[in-house]
Structure 1
Amino acid sequence: METINIHEAKTHLSRLLARVHAGEEVIISKSGKPYAKLVPIDLATKRKPGIAKGKVTADFFEPLPEEELDAWES
């Protein structure tokens, strides 16, 4: 993980983003102290259709008990 100063980060942001997109992490420092960290985001995995098939029953559509309704309202 490389540490760079904020001026260099502003000057070379596009290059830094390309490196981060490739999986690298970069620390940005201000006055020699760590200030921020650039990290790649975790892309969500694709959803698998039918994962809850057979698990949703008619009870799903019944009203909630009063205790639970009260918890949601408070």
Structure 2
Amino acid sequence: MQTVNIHNAKTNLSRLVDRAAKGEPFIIAKAGKPLVKVVPIDQPTTAQMRRVGFMAGQFSVPDDFDRMGDEEIEQLFDMNT
């Protein structure tokens, strides 16, 4: 994400806003310290975005998960003969 200083942002505001509206957010900084983030108005908020791991803690994996179905697989591939 592009960071621009406040003077540069004032000078190029139209161009920067056009880019942000097209999905390229940017950060405005003052003396190198980030102050604000400019994003399109219709960009989903963090709360609206789908979280990865939303089912975390709702189920558990059995200890023998990596060995489940061994017998059936051996029979299918006839591994014991």
Tell me the TM-score normalized by structure 2: 0.51
Letter in 2 for 1:14: S
What residue is the counterpart of 1:57 in the other structure?
none
Higher helix share: 1
1 CA distance for matches of 2:25 and 2:2? 7
* CA shift digits 1:28-73 (9 cap, x unpaired): 0001000111000117xxxxxxxxxxxxxxxxxxxxxxxxxxxxxx
* CA shift digits 1:9-34 (9 cap, x unpaired): 00000000110011011000001000
Structure 2 counterpart SS, 1:15: helix
Structure 2 counterpart SS, 1:20: helix
What residue is the counterpart of 1:25 in the other structure?
25
CA RMSD of aligned residues (A): 1.2
Matches within 5 A, 1:1-74: 1-42=1-42
Identity among equivalent positions (%) equals: 60
2 CA distance for matches of 1:24 and 1:41? 12
Letter in 2 for 1:4: V
1 CA distance for matches of 2:6 and 2:36? 9
Structure 1 ranges of 4+ moved more than 3 A:
none
Structure 1 counterpart SS, 2:34: strand
